């Protein structure tokens, strides 16, 4: 790859002529602009209704020593993209912010996808259940057919086929010779990932705990099944959940598909916020059964009404007038910020989740399009950034309750983008005010916790720097990489590399290395291999840069400290690798177990010949070293276990063998009880399975060993 042409750094207060020419030629159209410094790093990404007006405002006035001024002095290059509307600009801007991580934008890290509560779609019912006499048609069956195909019951059953419809508590079993199908009885489950249109999803929920609480509610009130289809299809008697009245027992025919469908319909309506209507219908059905002297059915409905009533009383923040609302409270203190997001879905408060943006100080105040407009608070700018970035991939509710005013143009663009009219209220009343007070309290608590943890972590970093006489350019820039080797008796050897930077572990920079072509169990050879793979190419680039005096753009850098989990042996191997690569030996430090391998007695071993150091059981520096070492060990052992499990237990490995299809795989698994049993079997044993020849059995044995 050819070297990029160097862009000269302009003197203080001046800019390259090409940059000023590009600014002057910008169109008065909506779009997105990006500023770059002399090293090609992205400084800022912004959007504008009028590109010419917005971008020109940065260069037509003196910003002094403000953050904008510091940024503008670094700009040497400009890129723009013209779009058709502000909504498109909003989408492109925030996609670029997440991709490029510009220094002067307020950034919210990508979080894991939100969890949902999933109710699977029911399968079409067979004729012996669907075609029932008109006198036997009930609301539940109609509900089932409406969910499945939009049809209603019409004709009578075929001669000789008995309908499998019965009241709750009755037999409700399939016709003779027919097996209960789990697909007739939708399952409620925890779900995270891409959604399928055929199933029903409720949420998103702020946490896994909130979803599990909702599932427990579905069990208590509506007795919906939660078991896997494989478990459902193999049941011969009710499970414990049926005994404790948390399931209606569809697996053994204790409830008909029609009545189960009514429970599913009631559960979905409850999750959508129609709790009072569901309650009223249950009470009406209970009274109707009582009038007909059907006391067992009435008692079942009475228990259901009591459970639902108890749930509604416990949900003290229930408000049926607000179905779907997000409450956003922001707190700024000590250069850090917290946005607390609380969710209301179906009129029920589901809990909250804190978000901590980075680059708050650098990113605040970068919007300078119109000096005549009043200066917006930092809190409002943080909320704008959160709303724009968060709702790119998360469904936005129609109502937002915010602690500070947000940009109306942002709400308008968000409405155009999503097709939903989005409104924001910054001075809530009544129940919304209660929700906002709760969110603000949680934002204060979460930010206080963060500041406390960061203060403690910074103290540990400072203690380690002082104890080892490290000389990073800045304390915040101290970078430590730690390596560990993990295997089980030489099987599935893996090496881990974890990274500590900016006073915390950087999960996105963790790496695992699969170790091959070594003697099983040789940890020293494994350490040699991982260090060569980690630093080999970087060392070549640095040596070439030292020879030529030019460093190619995008070149990485060595960490300030390389920790290896081990004593003299591992450190000696690391020293050999660094000598071979001509790297600084003082970077290498080994973490040697203390007497009896007791925690707190670890000693540090140096590759450059210094004497071993014991920092002390209560040393903040040792606490940081132990934290990083333990994280490397955790990351290595989880990777090793996953690799080992894949080799030993992955049923898919059988199908990778030529000649093994689904049927032969199923026969092998059934005969030997799983992949582990197949792996333990001899070739002669495998050949005794129907469809497995001696040649194929030998091939399977070789593949599994």
- The answer to whether 328 and 340 are in contact (CB under 8 A) is yes
pLDDT of res. 473: 66
Residues 491-520, mean pLDDT to the nearest whole number: 88
273 phi and psi angles, rounded to 5 deg: 105, 5
Rounded Cα distance between 185 and 139, Å, is 16
- The answer to whether 464 and 624 are in contact (CB under 8 A) is yes
SS (H, E, C) 420-457: CCCEEECCCCHHHHHHHHHHHHHHHHHHHHHHHHHHHH
pLDDT of res. 127: 60
Helix locations, 474-584, DSSP H: 523-548, 568-581
- Report residue 172's pLDDT band, with 50, 70 and 90 as the boundaries: very low
Residue 349 has pLDDT above 60, yes or no: yes
pLDDT of res. 60: 79
Poorest-confidence range of 122-136, 433-447, 637-651?
122-136
- Report residue 10's pLDDT band, with 50, 70 and 90 as the boundaries: very low
Q: Determine if the pTM surpasses 0.85.
A: no
Residues 485-500, mean pLDDT to the nearest whole number: 85
Angle made by CA atoms 435, 441, 444, in degrees to the nearest 5: 140
Residues 226-239, mean pLDDT to the nearest whole number: 84
Residues 6-23, mean pLDDT to the nearest whole number: 67
Composition of the chain by helix, strand, coil, percent to 5: 45, 15, 40
Residue 595 has pLDDT above 60, yes or no: yes
Distance from the first to the final alpha carbon of the chain? 43
Give tens-digit pLDDT for 428-437: 888 888 889 9
Poorest-confidence range of 162-171, 181-190, 307-316?
162-171
Rounded Cα distance between 366 and 66, Å, is 10
Poorest-confidence range of 33-47, 174-188, 349-363?
174-188
pLDDT of res. 257: 85
What is the CB-side half-sphere exposure of residue 492 using CA atoms within 13 A?
14
Residue 278 has pLDDT above 70, yes or no: yes
For residue 220, the 8-state DSSP code is I
**Highest-confidence segment of 8-22, 81-95, 638-652:** 81-95
Beta-bridged to residue 564, according to DSSP, are 483, 590
Give tens-digit pLDDT for 387-428: 888 887 778 888 999 999 988 888 888 888 888 888 999 888
- Report residue 87's pLDDT band, with 50, 70 and 90 as the boundaries: confident
What is the CB-side half-sphere exposure of residue 48 using CA atoms within 13 A?
26
- List, in order of start, the domains of the chain with CATH numbers: 17-100 (3.40.1440.10), 117-273 (no CATH), 325-365+376-447 (3.30.420.340), 475-548+557-646 (3.30.420.340), 650-704 (1.10.150.20)
The tokens of 40 are what? 């090609």
Give tens-digit pLDDT for 101-114: 888 888 887 555 67
Average pLDDT, the chain: 78
To the nearest 10°, the Cα dihedral for 451, 453, 456, 458?
-70
The tokens of 226 are what? 């939660």
594 or 411, which is more confident: 411
Rounded Cα distance between 123 and 120, Å, is 9
Rounded Cα distance between 103 and 35, Å, is 10
The tokens of 197 are what? 């249109």
List the one residue out of 187, 313, 172, 324 whose CA is nearest residue 247. 187
Residue 77 makes CB contacts below 8 A (sequence gap 6+) with: 7, 16, 19, 35, 36, 40
Question: What percentage of residues in the chain have a pLDDT greater than 70?
Answer: 80
**Highest-confidence segment of 126-135, 391-400, 530-539:** 530-539
Rounded Cα distance between 387 and 406, Å, is 9
């Amino acid at each position: 790859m050819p070297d990029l042409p160097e862009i000269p750094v302009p003197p203080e207060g001046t800019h390259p002529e090409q940059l000023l020419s590009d600014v002057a030629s910008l169109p008065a159209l909506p779009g997105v602009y990006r500023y770059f410094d002399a090293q090609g790093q992205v400084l800022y990404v912004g959007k504008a209704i009028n590109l010419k007006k917005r971008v020109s405002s940065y260069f037509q006035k003196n910003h002094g020593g403000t953050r904008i001024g510091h940024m503008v002095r670094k700009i040497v290059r400009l890129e723009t993209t013209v779009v058709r509307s502000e909504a498109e600009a909003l989408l492109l801007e925030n996609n670029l912010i997440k991709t490029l991580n510009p220094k002067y934008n307020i950034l919210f890290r990508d979080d894991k996808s939100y969890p949902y509560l999933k109710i699977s779609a029911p399968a079409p019912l067979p004729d012996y259940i669907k075609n029932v006499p008109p006198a036997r048609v009930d609301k539940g069956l109609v509900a089932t057919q409406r969910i499945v195909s939009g049809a209603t019951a019409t004709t009578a059953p075929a001669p000789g086929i008995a309908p499998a419809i019965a009241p709750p508590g009755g037999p409700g079993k399939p016709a003779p010779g027919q097996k209960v199908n789990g697909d007739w009885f939708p399952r409620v489950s925890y779900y995270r990932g891409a959604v399928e249109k055929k199933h029903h999803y409720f949420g998103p929920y702020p946490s896994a705990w909130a979803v599990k609480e909702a599932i427990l509610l579905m069990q208590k009130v509506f007795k919906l099944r939660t078991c896997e289809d494989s478990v459902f299809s193999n049941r011969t008697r009710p499970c414990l959940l049926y005994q404790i009245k948390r399931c209606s027992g569809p697996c053994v025919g204790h409830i008909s598909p029609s009545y189960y469908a009514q429970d599913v319909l009631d559960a979905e309506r409850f999750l959508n916020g129609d709790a009072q209507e569901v309650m009223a219908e249950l009470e009406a059905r209970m009274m109707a059964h009582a009038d007909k002297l059907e006391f067992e059915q009435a008692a079942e409905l009475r228990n259901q009404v009591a459970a639902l009533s108890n749930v509604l009383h416990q949900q003290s923040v229930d408000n049926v007038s607000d179905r779907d609302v997000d409450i956003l409270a922001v707190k700024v203190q000590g250069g850090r910020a917290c946005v607390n997001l609380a969710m209301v879905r179906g009129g029920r408060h589901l809990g909250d989740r804190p978000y901590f943006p980075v680059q708050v100080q650098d990113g605040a105040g970068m919007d300078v399009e119109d000096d005549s407009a009043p200066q917006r608070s930092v809190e409002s700018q943080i909320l704008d950034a959160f709303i724009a970035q968060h709702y790119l991939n998360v469904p936005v509710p129609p109502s937002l309750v915010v602690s500070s005013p947000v940009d109306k143009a942002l709400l308008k663009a968000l409405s155009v983008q999503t097709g939903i009219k989005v409104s924001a209220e910054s001075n809530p009343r009544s129940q919304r005010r209660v929700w906002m007070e709760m969110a603000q309290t949680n934002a204060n608590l979460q930010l206080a916790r963060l500041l406390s943890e960061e203060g403690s972590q910074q103290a540990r970093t400072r203690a380690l720097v002082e104890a080892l006489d490290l000389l990073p350019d800045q304390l915040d820039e101290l970078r430590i990489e730690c390596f560990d080797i993990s295997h089980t008796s030489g099987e599935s050897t893996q090496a881990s590399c974890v990274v500590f930077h900016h006073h915390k572990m950087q999960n996105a920079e963790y790496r695992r290395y699969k170790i091959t072509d070594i003697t099983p169990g040789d940890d020293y050879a494994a350490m040699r291999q991982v260090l060569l793979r980690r630093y080999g190419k970087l060392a070549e680039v640095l040596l070439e840069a030292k020879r030529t005096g030019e460093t190619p753009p995008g070149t990485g850098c060595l960490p300030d400290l390389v920790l290896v989990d081990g004593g003299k042996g591992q450190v000696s191997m690391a020293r050999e690798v660094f000598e071979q690569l001509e790297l600084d030996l003082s970077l290498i430090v080994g973490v040697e177990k203390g007497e009896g391998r007791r925690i707190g007695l670890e000693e540090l071993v140096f590759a450059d010949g210094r004497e071993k150091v014991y920092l002390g059981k209560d040393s903040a520096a040792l606490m940081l070293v132990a934290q990083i070492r333990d994280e490397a060990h955790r990351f290595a052992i989880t990777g090793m276990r996953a690799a080992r499990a894949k080799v030993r237990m992955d049923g898919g490995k059988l199908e990778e063998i030529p000649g093994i299809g689904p049927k032969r795989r199923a026969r092998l698994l059934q005969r030997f009880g799983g992949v582990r049993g197949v792996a333990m079997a001899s070739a002669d044993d495998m050949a005794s399975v129907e469809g497995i020849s001696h040649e194929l059995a030998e091939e399977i044995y070789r593949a599994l060993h």
